[in-house]
Amino acid sequence: MRGSGTEIPFDNNTCKESVRTFYLRFLQTVEHLQTLDLFPADSSQLFHSTFMDDFFCKLNNECYSIVDNKLRDSGKRPEDVTHTSIFAWVDTAQRYNNSIHALTRNDNISVDQDMQKLTKQPVKDYCYYCGKTGHRFKNQNRVWTCPDKLANKPSCQAYIDYRKTHGYHVDETSAQTNTAENTTVATVSDSSNRSIAVTSDVSFRGAHGWFNNEQTILDLGGCENLVNTSFAHQNLQLQTQTDTSAAAQHIQQSVNGDKFQFTKYVDIQCNFQGHREKVRFYLMDNLPRSFLLGYPFLLDL
């Protein structure tokens, strides 16, 4: 696996520019990425959430702390607000901070000592995924940094509730399983030493946006790439095609040992943590997970 998904190639932590100037640079970079089909189009349902999540993650440390506190106080996420809200929050906080500094420079004006300590107290980073302080859920490049997420541990209940409320897919089963279950579902030993594992690191693009964190079976036994028929029709909503080649008439073996002929398929744009590729998936009824990647494809990846 390579890379880290859609990546805005700069951050604002080393810059002293205003949040508005940084926003204009950020907007230009997004427009460039859109021309390369590396960022959702303005008309996409995912544009606003992706844009605001990226913009928030790449704010400099001062602005990030200001916006993070405001989001936490209001119980919102970056995609729930607009850039104008962020401008207003930063402007207000910076004006207040300038006023405090002006007061402390004037020896004739007494400033409450507790207020001075409060304004100087460093703001602890907060992670939306695990609900703990001391780290952010992603870095400026939108790469996950939460230790619990990287260890495939379940998220906090607030994160699950938020995704449900905002219409994101939530796998209740995977959220309650332990690290080992999230990493490897099963290892089946037979005459071919077949092994099966599960990953959530691959994203899949449907007709109306990307599907992230979908559990994908990695089958080292040599099967074709498969997609659950119901998931393909109801969620991906991509055009189904028929494979009329002679190879499609060959008998295939599924994960559970049943034999099938796979003739119906969809071509899906996949993101392997930054490496994008269009992959053919054959439709299979009752596939135990949404997707399966077979050994021939994994060998070429």
Please give the pLDDT value at position 205: 92
Q: Cα–Cα distance between 200 and 151 in angstroms, integer?
A: 12
Cβ-based neighbours of 261, under 8 Å, separated by 6 or more: 248, 249, 250, 251, 252
Along the chain (301 residues), what's the average pLDDT of each consecutive run of 10 residues?
43 65 90 89 90 88 87 89 91 77 54 53 74 80 77 84 68 42 39 66 88 83 80 92 80 61 88 84 87 70 55
Instruction: Name the H helices within 58-112.
Output: 61-74, 83-105
* Topology annotation, domain 184-300: Cathepsin D, subunit A; domain 1 (2.40.70)
Predicted pLDDT at 238: 92
**Tokens found for residue 219:** 């089958």
Q: Token pair of 43, please?
A: 């008309």
Amino acid 301: pLDDT: 55
Q: How many angstroms separate the Cα of 49 from the Cα of each of 39, 45, 140, 166, 285?
A: 11, 8, 15, 11, 32
- Write down the pLDDT at residue 173: 45
Tokens of 107: 């020896």
Residue 2 DSSP code? -
Q: What is the pLDDT of residues 167-193, one digit of tens each?
A: 665 655 444 333 333 333 334 444 445
Question: Closest Cα to residue 200, out of 140, 154, 137, 142?
Answer: 154
SS3 content of the chain, % helix, strand, coil (to 5): 40, 20, 45
Q: Give residue 127's identity as a one-letter amino acid code.
A: C
Question: Of the candidates 49, 47, 90, which has an alpha carbon nearest to the alpha carbon of residue 68?
Answer: 90
Contact 64, 138 (CB under 8 A): no
Task: Give the predicted TM-score (pTM) of the model.
Answer: 0.38
Taking only the tens place, the pLDDT of each residue in 84-112 is: 999 999 888 888 777 666 555 554 545 55
The reported pLDDT for the residue numbered 177 is 36
Indicate the domain borders of the chain: 19-109, 184-300
Coil, strand or helix: which one is 211?
Answer: strand
